Amino acid sequence: MVIDKPIIQATNSWPFVEARKLVKERQKIFEKKGKITLQTGYGPSGLPHIGTFAEVARTTMMVNAIKQIIDIPTEIITFSDDMDGLRKIPDNIPNKEILEKNLHKPLTSVPDPFKKYKSFGEHNNEMLKKFLDEFKFNYTFKSSTDTYKKGLFNEALLLVLEKYEQIKEIILPTLGKERQKTYSPFLPVCAETGKVLEVQVIEIKKKEGKIIYQDGSKKTETEVINGKCKLQWKVDWAMRWYAFDVDYEMYGKDLIESAILSSKICQTLGKKSPNGFPYEMFLDEKGEKISKSKGNGITIEQWLKYASHESLSLYMYQNPRRAKKLYADVVPKAVDEYLTCIDKFSGEDDSQKLLNPVWHIHNGNPPKEKSIMPFSVLLNLVGTSNATDKDVLWKFIKKNKKDIKVSEYPILDSLVGYALKYFEDIVKPNKKYRKPNDKERKALEDLVKRLKDCKEQMDPEAIQTIVYSVGKDNGYKENLREWFKAIYEIIFGDQDGPRMGFFISFFGIKESIELINKYIK
């Protein structure tokens, strides 16, 4: 999809805003090296979670925007800090005793508690790569352990040693008095225990590329290269920007101050720090920050069990600078918003298309399948029809859309499968039906009476008008919300529900009458 340059320059879609800024501020830098390098970071101390995915998804959206602006190769580096020492035991991990015996060792030196890979770090790296590959992301995976041990950071590490004093001057004012006394950018890896040590460095030997550190009463000399040391993470972050010539990186809002320090260090090493994009954090249902070690919030696997990866990408596109709650209840809404965006896309002009999330999800080529029904209605169909397989649900859909072919509606077919799983796992256990009071029973009996006069293929909006009229005529004229709330609680066992005209149309007049009668007897 080719879009006119004036439209690209004018749109306020955030990937294009960021891409224009990047090209303007760093064009001389990336043209000299012949590509634009973007980085995403992953700390594999816990299982990959949706926040990890968000960085890669959003960075990919940035790449799509860049390619509309300038013709130059791009690369996304996904870097795993798997040489970091294991500091605490994640809550959502089996065989915790394995991890307890290996605290403070690099994650790639800790045995895999899942007993599938050589190490805990490798297990979590493979989990991440498998997921990113399912999304067909174009990225280059880099392991901290491999990069350090193969000597690919050696030049940069020796430069950190050369700039040792200047780097300490940047970091020390941010530390407490006691920590200032022992802080060093270098964390030696003990040759005897294999642990990453946070110890005092008592001497640096710049010409030899070595340090001498004190661990208790023992003094040890070690090289800073070839994986014998790793860097404190703020210095490590800056060193990677320098070594990889990174042009752009997103990071959580909680890392803004760290990014400022790392930027200063990168400049001390001799290169301009990359453009940054601080995004807001993901929260669980209780409003607490999602943590990979806690495993709170919804997992990657859970989202993909209940909805498509495109709906997840839409959720990541929207308002990245605004905090979002990320738990199972947000899935149906995200799915329905995705369907709505697809329906709108074909009728939009180019300016509107760039503001439509599906342009960024599908790189300008979203599917053309028109939505037949919202996911929320599909979920209610599952409950009211007692469907346990796709064939039963498709019978209800074909009842309303007689000429529809499953093969021509792959999105809808996938939604039918997702709806069955989501209803069984999330909706059904939380259903709370209640008995109607006299006023509600009278109103529902009136609704049944009026539905009996309706034709089976009646327009959904006409049915909706009837539902409204019943409410108004039975004491809910001043508060129709209470009328619909009563319907949802009595018939669907929930405080929220579908647009009734649409639901009755799809479920069937006769079937809807039987359903209402079931709950008012």
For residue 160, give Cα distances in angstroms to 186, 187, 205, 262, 493.
9, 13, 12, 12, 62
Q: What is the pLDDT of residues 110-155, one digit of tens each?
A: 999 999 999 999 999 998 898 789 888 999 999 999 999 999 999 9
Question: Do residues 282 and 326 make contact, with C-beta atoms less than 8 angstroms apart?
Answer: yes
pLDDT tens digit sequence for 337-353:
999 999 999 999 999 99
Per DSSP, 473 falls in state I
Q: Which residue has the higher pLDDT, 270 or 380?
A: 270
Mean pLDDT, rounded, for 212-237: 97
- Model pLDDT, residue 288: 79
Q: Does domain 5-166+233-282 have CATH number 3.30.2290.10?
A: no
Q: What angle do CA 502, 339, 1 make, to 5 degrees?
A: 145
pLDDT tens-place string over residues 158-169:
999 999 999 999
SS3 at position 420: helix
Q: Which amino acid, residue 270?
A: G
Kindly report the pTM of this predicted structure: 0.86
pLDDT of residue 291: 66
DSSP state string for 48-85: --HHHHHHHHHHHHHHHHHHHH----EEEEEEE-TTSB
Domain locations along the chain: 5-166+233-282, 375-430, 438-520
C-alpha–C-alpha distance, residues 72 and 68, integer Å: 10
Quick one: average pLDDT of 68-90?
Answer: 95
Q: What is the tens place of the pLDDT at every residue in 465-495?
A: 999 999 999 999 999 999 999 999 999 998 8
Amino acid at 208: E
Q: Identify whether the C-beta of residue 70 lies closer than 8 Å to the C-beta of residue 23.
A: yes
Is the pLDDT at 458 greater than 90? The verdict is no
pLDDT tens readout for residues 95-115: 999 999 999 999 999 999 999
Residue 376 in this model has a pLDDT that exceeds 70: yes
- pLDDT for res 434: 94
What is the rounded average pLDDT of the residues 370-395? 89
- What percentage of the chain reaches a pLDDT higher than 70? 98
Which among 139, 39, 308 is positioned nearest to 130, based on CA atoms?
139
Structure confidence at residue 103 (pLDDT): 95
Q: pLDDT class for 292, splitting at 50, 70, 90?
A: low
Taking the C-alpha atoms of residue 412 and residue 343, their distance in angstroms, rounded to an integer, is 13
Q: Report the half-sphere exposure of 449 (CA within 13 A, side-chain side).
A: 8
- pLDDT at position 502 is 87
DSSP at 401:
S
The average pLDDT across 362-387 equals: 91
Answer yes or no: is pLDDT of 293 > 60.
no
Q: Is the pLDDT of residue 297 over 90?
A: no
Take residue 117 and report the two structure tokens written for it.
């890979």
Identify the CA nearest to 36 among candidates 6, 52, 60: 60
- Predicted confidence at residue 324, as pLDDT, reads 86
Q: Of 90-104, 224-238, 394-408, which one has max mean pLDDT? A: 224-238
List, in order, residues 6 or more apart from 369 with CB less than 8 Å away: 342, 408, 409, 410, 411, 412
Q: Give the pLDDT of residue 1.
A: 67
* pLDDT given for residue 78 in this prediction: 96
Q: Which residues share a beta bridge with 223?
A: 210
Q: Three-class SS string for 193-246?
A: CCCECCCEEEEEECCCCEEEEEECCEEEEEECCCCCEEECHHHHHHHHHHHHCC
In words, the CATH class of domain 438-520 is mainly alpha
Kindly tell me if the per-residue pLDDT of 294 is higher than 70: no
Strand partners, 270: none
Q: To the nearest whole number, what is the mean pLDDT of the chain?
A: 93
